[in-house]
A and B are shown apart, each in its own frame.
Chain A
Amino acid sequence: MSGVHGSTVSRLFVPRDSRVHRLSPEAKLVAVVAVVVVIAMTPRRETAAFALYALGAWAIIATTKIGLLTYLKRLSVIIPFVMFALIVPFIGGGESVRVLGVSLSVDGLWATWNILAKAGLGATMSIALSATTPVPELLHGMTRLKVPRLLVAIIAFMLRYIDVLVEQLGRMRRSMLARGHDPRWLWQVKPIASSAGALFVRSYERGERVHQAMLARGYTGVMPTVSEQRASTKEWLAVLLCPFGAALVLTVAVV
């Protein structure tokens, strides 16, 4: 199940002066997705390939200048699946091998490696993207990549109001604590759930007011275009080095 996110939207972006920060968002988006796809397609036994990927990831972490600690903190989101991956050799079938007196499935061990490697690398790329790209830029990048305007707009509004709602929830929770309600059991959940219900109503009503504010400023159902900066060819070439590099590694390994 989804865990609590360590940072809400406004804390995602970590401002630094790095080459990655300065790249266009659409180039970064394409590069990240391409790299993750290549990694996910890599057969797990190609450990050499993964070693090179890891080197690449290290290079990216270093170039973004955000600090390993930030990556590790945000990587904690994959912990539940790490847990599952660690259990697999104990419950998996097939050939087994004895390690320290315990029978472990060989295939299970490979599966553990597969999940950890791919999950870890994939998550690292996502983290690099969101930490180096401010939300408005990311949204522009998506629009330039022809993601439907309406969808981008919905995402934009979602991101804009998450922090507002989370703050409201926090206030509701503090007011409950102040009145001595610190629930531990499911049947004590009523006030929290009622607050959530109240939050929905308030959010919906806010959505209606925002709609009116949009109408008042001439909204006709189509989001207006804003700046049209495009990524330069040089940027595209530089950034696509990553997925091409990864694909090259994959091809060499498999062939």
Chain B
Amino acid sequence: MHAPDGFLEPSVAVITAVVALVAVSAGVRYAGRELGDRQVPLAGVAAAFIFAAQMVNFPVAAGTTGHLLGGALAAVLLGPWVGMLVVSVVVIVQAVLFADGGLTALGYNTINMAIVTAFGGWAAFVLLRKLMPRTSAGVVGAGAVAAGISVVLSAAAFSIEWLFGASAPVAFDTVFGAMVGVHVLIGVGEAVITGLVLSAVMASRPDLVRGAAHLSDDELNATSRVGFRPFVIGSVCAAVVVGVVVSQFAASNPDGLERVAIDNGFEESATDHALSSSWFSDYATAGISNESVSLAVAGVSGLCITLLVGGGVVSASRSTRRRQTA
């Protein structure tokens, strides 16, 4: 997910960089409002934690390992603004010091890994929390599923960026299908790990979990067991179903049409579509058969991402204001 330099076209790199810059500056300001003069040590140490947690090799299957992304976890633990800021700092440091992620890719890397995951994850968490029992386990369950969703959102966001700034002739639907499909599976791992980490923190210091701040002491102590094994099995099943559905979409880009495009020459098929507007990357839109479906998918995912991220921001600001007046 730490895309290198040149992965997306400069136009996208610039626009996303501006967006990320605005978000991070706002993050510093809001984090200051929430944490006061504790901001520097707490955000710093939290960022170190996320960095260290991302290094951990979590077993996935037969000895292969996966890694935590941590955006949703950071949001549930620290609140969406501080969470977003903390993961952004991790992404920036990884790019500048470890060459993990290009310097010119910082815009979209920050958006995908910090902003979308933290705010989108927080929004999903707040929604899910309403469906769950008002207990510690409810917070853990909501946080876990929100983490899984945040990973998928992140992949979708990247695919949409690809639509505008692809640097390779791979169609949007292929990228979307592959990215989202794979990340649904990665999301399962993220969900399981996030849930377990939240559970551990809730067991010793629930006051450190911002997502549990609404619970009273009695509610914190009440038990409602969410079985671990059924949860994992259920998530894997859900993931498989979603993954199959999504990859069907990618596969519906029939080889037949690609051959047609090739036979007629690349330039012709590019001018053939209704969308030869320079807004969309030629690569991403070239060779798309069901282009209206593609764009519908892009549009809907974009809308979902915007709604969730925006909702997350609004929810965050409202709860900050509520706490300030309390």
User: Do A and B contact each other directly (Cβ–Cβ < 8 Å)?
Assistant: yes
Q: Mark A residues whose CB is within 8 Å of B.
A: 1-5, 9, 12, 32-33, 36-37, 39-41, 74-75, 77-78, 81, 85, 88, 91-96, 105, 107-108, 111-112, 114-115, 117-119, 121-127, 129-130, 138, 148, 150-151, 153-162, 164-166, 169, 183-190, 192-201, 203-208, 210-211, 214-215, 219-221, 223
Chain B interface (Cβ within 8 Å of chain A)?
A: 1-7, 10, 13, 24-25, 28, 32, 36-49, 51-63, 66-69, 77, 85, 89-90, 92-100, 102-104, 167-171, 174, 186, 188-189, 192-193, 196-201, 203-205, 208, 228-229, 232, 258, 261-262, 265-266, 283, 286-287
Is B262 touching A115 in the complex (CB atoms < 8 A)?
no
Cβ contacts A to B, 27 pairs, < 8 Å: A1-B1, A2-B69, A2-B94, A36-B104, A77-B100, A85-B168, A91-B170, A93-B286, A108-B170, A112-B168, A115-B4, A118-B7, A130-B97, A130-B98, A138-B97, A153-B40, A156-B44, A157-B47, A158-B47, A166-B52, A183-B59, A185-B62, A186-B60, A186-B61, A190-B228, A200-B201, A203-B48
Among A92, A186, A190, residue most surrounded by chain B Cβ atoms (within 10 Å)? A186
Given A123-B102, A186-B61, A220-B37, A155-B89 contact (CB < 8 Å): yes
- In Å, the complex CA distance between A53 and B40 comes to 39
Partner of B100 from the list A3, A12, A161, A221 (CB cut-off 8 Å) is A3
**Contacting pair A94 B286 (CB below 8 A):** yes
Interface pair B286/A207, CB less than 8 Å apart? no
A153 and B44 in contact (CB under 8 A), knowing A39-B5, A118-B6, A204-B208?
yes
6 further contact pairs, Cβ within 8 A, besides A118-B7, A154-B44, A188-B59: A2-B2, A91-B170, A95-B265, A151-B89, A158-B47, A197-B201
A122: nearest chain-B partner, CB-CB: B5
* Closest CB in chain A relative to B42 CB, distance in Å: 4
Tell me which residues across on chain B come within 8 A of A169, comparing CB atoms.
Answer: 52, 55-56
Q: Choose from A114, A125, A154, A199 the contact partner of B89 (Cβ within 8 Å).
A: A154
CB contact between B45 and one of A36, A186, A204 (< 8 Å): that residue: A204
Query: Given that A204-B45, A204-B46 are contacting pairs, would A154 and B55 also be in contact in the complex, using a CB cutoff of 8 Å?
Result: no
